[in-house]
Amino acid sequence: MKTQTVVEKTKAKKQDMEGGAKDFLKTLGIESVNSGACGNDWIKNPSGGELISYSPSDGSAIATVKMASADDYENIMKDAVSAFETWRMVPAPKRGEVVRQIGEKLREYKKPLGKLVSYEMGKIAAEGEGEVQEMIDMADFAVGLSRQLYGLSMHSERPMHRMYEQWHPLGAVGVITAFNFPVAVWAWNAMLAAVCGDVVVWKPSSKMPLTAVAVQNIISRVLEKNNCQGIMTLVIGSGKVVGDRMVNDPRIPLISATGSTDLGKRIGQAVGRRLGRTILELGGNNAVLVMNDANLDLALRAVLFGAVGTAGQRCTSTRRVILQKGIAEEFTKRLTGAYRQITIGDPLDAKILMGPLVDKGAVEDMQKALKEISNQGGEIICGGSVLGGEKYKSGCYVEPAIVKAKADMKIVAEETFAPILYLITVKDLDEAIRVQNGVPQGLSSAMFTTNLINAETFLSPRGSDCGIANINIGTSGAEIGGAFGGEKETGGGREAGSDAWKAYMRRQTNTINWSKELPLAQGIKFEV
C-alpha cells in the first residue's frame, strides 16, 4: 500500500491546490488530490462525481475530490467488516498502542494540518491548531482508556456461581461529521472506537473534503505500519449516495452524527427503524447568565470568545446572554465596545480574531435571521453587516451582531449558525433560569456569579437543563475527559470523556457455575 501521496502522482487540474493550500498539502505529503474514498487502500478513481473545495478566506478553489459511488461505498464497507473480524481480537492495550502512534503522527503534522483546517473552514489559525491539538489529546486519553475497559463483578445468589459483566467490541461505527469541527469530532469517535475494538467508517461534511483526505492520508501511514488497514476508513460522498446508505446499513450498529436537529431527527428515525444505536450531537442555543454579583471582566471575555469564536459556528457558541437588571446596562456598553474592536479578516493572519463564515449560504442565512429579528421587534445594536471590497472578496465575511431581544421572541428559540448574540434582561435568579431553559435545545450553559447560592442553584436539578453547565467560564471550549453532549433537541448523546466509551461496546453478563448442581435463580424448583 502506498500512502506517501493520496493517489498516484498525476498532474493536478487547474483548480487543484491553488494558492496557500499547495504548500499545506506538500507539507502533509500530498501532491495530488482526486480520491475521496479509502478502505484498505485508496480507490484510484471513485465514480461518484466531483466535489470542489472552496476556501471561504479568499473564495478560491482549493482542490477537486472525486466522491464515492454506491459501489465504492460497498467496497469500503467490505474492507471495514473484514478488518473488524481481526481487530476485535487484538488485545485492547495493543489497540491503544496503534492509537498512541496516531497521536504522535498528528503531533508531527499539527501546524500544517491546523493551517489547512483554517484555510478550508475559515476559523482562525489558533483555533485550527487547537482543533488538531484536540485530536492529539483525544488519542492520549484513549491510550490510557485502553487499559481501563472495566466490567463489574457481582455476587450470585446461587452457591458456587460467579457472575460478572464484560464489554465487547460493537462492530463498524459510522461517523458523520459537520463542517465546523472537521477533524476533532472525528477523533472523539475514532480514537475511542479504535481502543474499544471497533472499526470506523467516516463520512465528513461535503464542505470540508480536503481536510478529511489529509487526515486519512496521515493516519494511513500508521495503519499500514501496524498492518491494520481498514480499521479507519474514509468515504466522501453526497448524503443521498453515501449518507443514506450508512444510516440504513445493518452492518453499522452505531451511527455517531453531528449536525442540525433536523438532520439528527432524520438519522435517529432511520437508525431506530433497524434498532441500531445513535450518538447525536445536534443543535445548541447556549446561554450565559450574568448575575449582579458577577466578575464582569471574566464574563465579558467569556461571552466575547463564546459568541465570536469560529465566527459563531460552534455548537457551543454563546447565542444568548441573560443579564440581571442591575448590571445589564453596564455590561451591554462594555460588550458593544469590545465588539467594535474585533479584527475580521484572513484567518491565517495572527492579528485576526474572526474569520469568515463557511460559505455564502451561511451569510444569507444570517441576513435572513437579522431581518426576521427586526420583524419580531428585536433591536440590532451592533454589527450585522456583510463586508465587501478586495479584502473580503470571498463574500463570506460579516460583522458579528448584538441584538437586544425578549425571551419570548420566536427566533430566539431557534439556532442561527452565525455570530448573532441576543441580550435578554431579567429581574432575578428564578427568571434567569426559566429563560435559560426556555428553548428546545440543551447543550451548554454558563453562569457568572460570586454567590454560592446562585452557583449551586444553577447546578442543581432545578437549575440548568443542559448537558454542560459551567460556573465562571463560558459555554464554549469543552475539555477532553468530560463527556460532551446535551439534552432535549441536542440529541442526548455523549462523546469524548468519562464513560462515553460504553456507547462503542456491547455489554455481556456472564455466569459461571463451578458446582456439581444446577440451582435455578429465584429459588425456582423444576424437577423431572
The strand pairing partners of 173, in sequence order, are: 200, 254
The DSSP annotation for 508-520 comes to: EEEEEE-SSS-PP
Is 315 marked active-site?
A: yes
Q: For helices 209-225 and 110-121, what crossing angle results, to 10°?
A: 150
The strand pairing partners of 281, in sequence order, are: 258
Query: Is 510 exposed, middle or buried, given 0-12, 13-18 or 19+ CB atoms closer than 10 A?
Result: exposed
Q: Which residue out of 38, 196, 315, 382 is catalytically annotated? A: 315
Q: Which residue out of 120, 129, 131, 281 is catalytically annotated? A: 281
Angle (CA) 93 97 102, round 5° = 140
The owner of cell 456507547 is: 503
Q: How far apart are CA 361 and CA 105, in angstroms?
A: 35
**Residues whose CB is less than 8 angstroms from the CB of residue 435 and which lie 6 or more positions away in sequence, other chains included:** 287, 320, 322, 407, 424, 426
Measured over the CA atoms of residue 419, residue 422, residue 428 and residue 434, the dihedral's sign is: negative
CB 344 within 8 A of CB 387: yes
Q: How far apart, in Å, are the Cα atoms of 466 and each of 100, 126, 294, 300, 488? A: 33, 28, 21, 22, 8
| Active-site annotation, residues | 281, 315
